Amino acid sequence: MKKDAERKKRKRQMQKEAEAEEGSEAENEDPAADLDPISLPDFLEALSRVSDGPFDIGARVHALEAGLLSVDPGDRARKLAEILGYNMHLHWTYERKKWHIKTQDYSFGFTCSQSLDREHAEKAVKAGGKPRVTRRMERFACSGWLFIYAKDNCLDVTVKIKHECAHKPYVDIELPDKWKRYIEEHARVQLPSQIWRHILQEEGAHQDVSNINIPFKAKSVYYYWHLVSQQDWKLDSDPITSAKKYISQNASLHNVSLLDIKPEPGTEVIAFKVIDFVWEWAVNTQELAMDSTWNTNGANYELFAAVADANGSGIPLAFLFILTTSDAARGAKQAVLSRFLSALKDEGVRPEFTLTDKDWSEINAMQAVWPDSKHQLCFWHGLRAVKQRLSKNKESPAPYDPEPVARKFSYIDKSFVPIGQRSNSETIPAPPERPLPRIRLLIDGRPSVLTQSIRPITLQADIIRRALASREDEDVPAEGESFDIEAQGDMELPQ
């Protein structure tokens, strides 16, 4: 709705600017009515002589090349604007159509697409979101306008063009028609990445890499592939209705079937099962896990999967998409999950163990449907929670009480007290009076790192003991000591 409002606001603004540019004289008479018609080629030749500088010209043009009288005046005007843009290396963007009562003709307004007046403001980035990486067209203060006046019963049209400065030529980044046709023919058998590689190979055939210049990008290929592909799966404007229609029409192809899950007020739901997996494994399910994930679709539906364990591997039995709005009551998602799991229970699923992360709506739904099953939390989620908690150094944990801990775990030492809860009277042991000595190994009087590569050297314990004993009577600074051991004679060089 917001985009539509902005689009309408901009359209009204451009119409006002078109009225101002066209001038009030157009209401009373054709701006070039007194001029003799010239051919379109002659008009293009005249434009080529003034295109390098500012110009504001009008002419009466016999535009047979734009279409016959059987063609709608608007279509003829657009075709003529396309011809003019091609020859002027510009692109004229259609803005508005107006009917003039006194002159009994239509005027069609176009703007130069590279004009500063047509620039859209960049979309604001949402909090925490990533900025959009888009190609923005270079803009110029050309104030370019094109008006074409056409009648239903005449091939002659009046052309009025204003362009205040020359600028870089327009580069059309739209996907060429030949590649659109290729995508239409191969969309069902090739992915966008495969199509893009094919385009690169064809466009770059027999050319040096530095000379390959493709104005459109891979995103254009993906976008058009998406438009073509959605004709197969977008069967309704409402995503839930569209998905239900698709599954119903293609159940045998994809081996899936809809599950009738009633939504709660404030929720939207669609669920389906994998037919052969449920048929073969439902009654053999000993352990059933359920988890959800986000960001799988543009509509922000949460996706739940019910997965059965089969000798350490997972077998997906069913899936549920659910959208919970602010109007949903507390416990709405849990009620929907309970119905989803009850549908699996009706298929013969009787697990001995159930498994989820610490989502209470999932846990409660599991226990409501299978109260006799033993529920357990996911080990991976639990391990991650412990790591995340231990990594938070600035947050203090709750006071530790050894009594309830010892009652639950008898092997816990009741006398253990965390350092943070110890009284100030408990002192930390002082460091030793003499720090441990540091030993440096020398090879022929030089540190080993400066010598050439040698075979590994093993220091024998008695060598170190003799070195330490020889220094016991020496006066060593209190803050530390270090001494050298020469690798001569006493060293054992392993073979």
DSSP codes, 155-221: EEEEEEEEE----PPP---SPPHHHHHHHHHHTTTS-HHHHHHHHHHHHTTTS-GGG---SS-HHHH
Q: Are residues 112 and 39 in the same domain?
A: yes
Q: Give the HSE-up count for residue 141: Cα atoms under 13 Å, Cβ half-sphere.
A: 0
- Say what the pLDDT of residue 470 is: 62
Length of the chain: 495
- For residues 80 and 159, what is the distance between their CA atoms, to the nearest angstrom? 10
Contact 324, 302 (CB under 8 A): yes
* 208 vs 405, higher pLDDT: 405
Q: Are residues 7 and 156 in the same domain?
A: yes
Give me the phi and psi of 164, to 5 degrees please.
-90, -15
Q: Are residues 92 and 182 in the same domain?
A: no
Q: Are residues 211 and 248 in the same domain?
A: no
Q: List C-alpha distances in Å: 130 to 123, 137, 232, 299, 302.
A: 12, 21, 31, 18, 22
Q: Are residues 301 and 377 in the same domain?
A: yes
Helices (H), 250-359: 251-254, 275-281, 332-346
Contact 131, 139 (CB under 8 A): no
pLDDT tens-digit profile of 274-324?
999 999 999 999 999 999 988 888 788 999 999 999 888 899 999 999 999
Axis crossing angle, helix 332-346 with helix 360-369, rounded to the nearest 10: 40
Q: What is the mean pLDDT of residues 173-191?
A: 91
- For residues 449 and 290, what is the distance between their CA atoms, to the nearest angstrom? 58
Is 95 domain-assigned? yes
Residue 227 has pLDDT above 80, yes or no: yes
Is 49 domain-assigned? yes
pLDDT tens-digit profile of 36-88?
889 999 999 988 888 777 888 889 999 999 988 889 999 999 999 999 998 88
Residue 355 has pLDDT above 90, yes or no: yes
Share of the chain above pLDDT 90, in %: 40
Band of the pLDDT at 494, cuts 50, 70, 90?
Answer: very low
Q: Which of 271, 263, 195 is nearest to 226 (CA)?
A: 195
pLDDT tens-digit profile of 400-426?
888 888 888 888 888 888 877 777 665
Return the amino acid letter for 366: M
Q: Are residues 100 and 16 in the same domain?
A: yes
pLDDT tens-digit profile of 435-473?
666 666 666 666 655 445 555 556 666 766 776 666 555
Q: What is the mean pLDDT of residues 152-168?
A: 90
Q: Which of 233, 254, 272 is the last residue of a domain?
A: 233
- Per-residue tokens: 170: 């327009």
Residue 92 has pLDDT above 50, yes or no: yes
- Say what the pLDDT of residue 103 is: 84
Q: What is the mean pLDDT of residues 352-356?
A: 94
**Which region among 48-57, 117-126, 339-348 has the lowest average model confidence (pLDDT)?**
117-126
Q: What is the mean pLDDT of residues 183-204?
A: 91
- Helix, strand, coil distribution of the chain in percent, nearest 5: 35, 20, 40
Handedness of CA 53, 57, 62, 67 (dihedral sign): positive
Q: Are residues 152 and 28 in the same domain?
A: yes
- For residues 477 and 488, what is the distance between their CA atoms, to the nearest angstrom? 27
Q: Are residues 20 and 82 in the same domain?
A: yes
Is 131 domain-assigned? no
Q: What is the DSSP letter of 298?
A: T
Give me the phi and psi of 125, to 5 degrees please.
-85, 130
- Say what the pLDDT of residue 296 is: 83
In the chain, how many domains are there? Answer: 4
Is 419 domain-assigned? no
Band of the pLDDT at 160, cuts 50, 70, 90?
Answer: very high
Is 481 domain-assigned? yes
Q: Are residues 106 and 26 in the same domain?
A: yes
Is 491 domain-assigned? no
Contact 40, 62 (CB under 8 A): yes
Q: 250 is in which domain, residue-wise?
A: 240-383
Max Cα distance, the chain (Å): 122
Residue 339 has pLDDT above 90, yes or no: yes
**Which region among 156-160, 162-166, 205-209 has the lowest average model confidence (pLDDT)?**
205-209
Q: Which of 339, 364, 383 is the last residue of a domain?
A: 383
Q: Are residues 469 and 362 in the same domain?
A: no
**Average model confidence (pLDDT) across the chain:** 82
Is 30 domain-assigned? yes
- For residues 73 and 150, what is the distance between their CA atoms, to the nearest angstrom? 6
Q: Are residues 364 and 450 in the same domain?
A: no
- For residues 371 and 392, what is the distance between their CA atoms, to the nearest angstrom? 36
Q: Are residues 314 and 365 in the same domain?
A: yes
Is 295 domain-assigned? yes
* 115 vs 489, higher pLDDT: 115
Q: List C-alpha distances in Å: 270 to 235, 280, 304, 341, 492.
A: 15, 23, 11, 13, 76
pTM over 0.85: no
| Beta-sheet pairing, 374-377 with 353-356 | parallel
